[in-house]
Structures are given as structure tokens and as C-alpha cells.
């Protein structure tokens, strides 16, 4: 069984359900965790949550540590914004946040359209960077919707793939760790 450390920034119960459905054992990070937990985990999941990503600076060093030792990291929404900032992307406050369901996203690599739900007021500035394949963009305002490192196991998406009831086009990202450890 693949063991995941969940850095919970305010996720919903549906995140837990989807991780369990994909056969992951979940450790939830908290201040009482023993350092030996690092020896037990196969991946890190950074959840969604409310607010400005800079309000979570206390978690930055922890996440940087996991990036440094190259533990696979999957992140959504606020977690995506945090890993993007840690990878030297700039962020900004949207004039009108992205809220609700039926947000069209295009994967520019394969031209596939994906419908998802979103709930955020901040976004990452588009920037071509070496060693990243960021191919998902909003069809509403062409904002960047993902980060995908080519040199370490790190991927993040701006949307809420667990959105229930709502679109489930992105639900397969919860299979990320299974694909790595097959």
C-alpha cells in the first residue's frame, strides 16, 4: 500500500475519500508528527484551503524539504500555488476570483478540453521555465492552471478535482502515486 503524507491546508472530506479509494494509506501532517514518518511515506499530497498562499509560510520549509529529497508531490489549488511559489513562479490576486463549477481548461499539449470546479482568488503568472511542462490553461482568461516538473516528481493543479457534485474530469489525478509506483 502506498503511504501518503497529507499536508492539510483546509481540505474537504472528499479528498480523504478519494485518496483512500485509490488505495493510499494517509498520514495527516501535524505538529506532533515524529520525524521518522519521513521513512514511512511514498508521497506528499498538499491540499486546497482558503486564502493567500503567503499566509502558509510556516509550511514552506517542510515542503521544500520534501522537494529536495524528491518525494513525489501532488498538490491542488492552494497547494499548487505554494509549490509554484517555491519553484520561483510569481503569483497575483485575480481581479475576480475563479469560483464555481464548469470552468473550461485546455491541455495545450493534446488539445483536450477538461471541465472542472474552482474556488480561488490568487493565481500563478505564466512563465516559460526550463524543466517544466505547464500545459493546462483556463479558457476563461488564459491563466496557468498547472505546474509539472520534468526533473522531479512534482505536479500541481489549480482546480478542485474532488468537486462533488460537479465535474469529475480531473479526478484521475488522484491516481498519480499509483502510476509512479507501478
- Contact call for residues 155 and 147 (beta carbons, < 8 A): yes
Has residue 166 got a pLDDT over 70?
no
Has residue 165 got a pLDDT over 60?
no
Q: Which residues are annotated as catalytic?
A: 77, 160, 162
pLDDT score recorded for residue 77? 93
Q: pTM of the prediction?
A: 0.90
Q: Could you report the per-residue pLDDT of 30-72, keeping only the tens digit for each?
A: 878 888 888 899 999 999 999 999 999 999 999 999 999 999 9
Q: Could you report the per-residue pLDDT of 88-136, keeping only the tens digit for each?
A: 999 999 988 888 888 899 999 999 998 888 889 999 998 888 899 999 9
Amino acid at each position: 500500500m502506498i503511504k501518503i503524507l497529507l499536508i492539510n491546508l483546509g481540505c474537504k472530506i472528499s479528498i480523504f475519500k478519494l485518496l483512500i479509494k485509490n488505495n493510499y494509506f494517509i498520514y495527516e501532517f501535524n505538529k506532533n508528527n515524529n520525524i521518522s514518518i519521513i521513512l514511512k511515506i511514498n508521497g506528499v499530497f498538499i491540499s486546497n484551503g482558503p486564502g493567500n498562499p503567503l499566509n502558509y509560510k510556516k509550511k514552506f520549509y517542510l515542503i521544500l524539504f520534501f522537494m529536495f529529497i524528491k518525494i513525489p508531490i501532488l498538490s491542488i489549488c492552494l497547494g499548487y500555488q505554494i509549490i509554484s511559489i517555491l519553484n520561483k513562479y510569481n503569483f497575483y490576486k485575480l481581479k475576480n476570483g475563479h469560483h464555481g463549477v464548469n470552468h473550461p481548461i485546455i491541455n495545450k499539449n493534446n488539445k483536450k478540453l477538461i471541465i472542472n470546479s474552482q474556488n480561488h482568488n490568487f493565481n500563478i503568472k505564466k512563465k516559460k521555465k526550463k524543466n517544466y511542462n505547464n500545459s493546462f490553461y483556463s479558457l476563461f482568461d488564459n491563466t496557468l492552471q498547472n505546474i509539472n516538473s520534468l526533473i522531479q516528481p512534482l505536479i500541481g493543479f489549480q482546480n478542485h478535482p474532488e468537486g462533488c457534485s460537479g465535474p469529475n474530469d480531473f479526478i484521475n489525478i488522484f491516481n498519480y502515486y499509483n502510476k509512479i509506483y507501478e
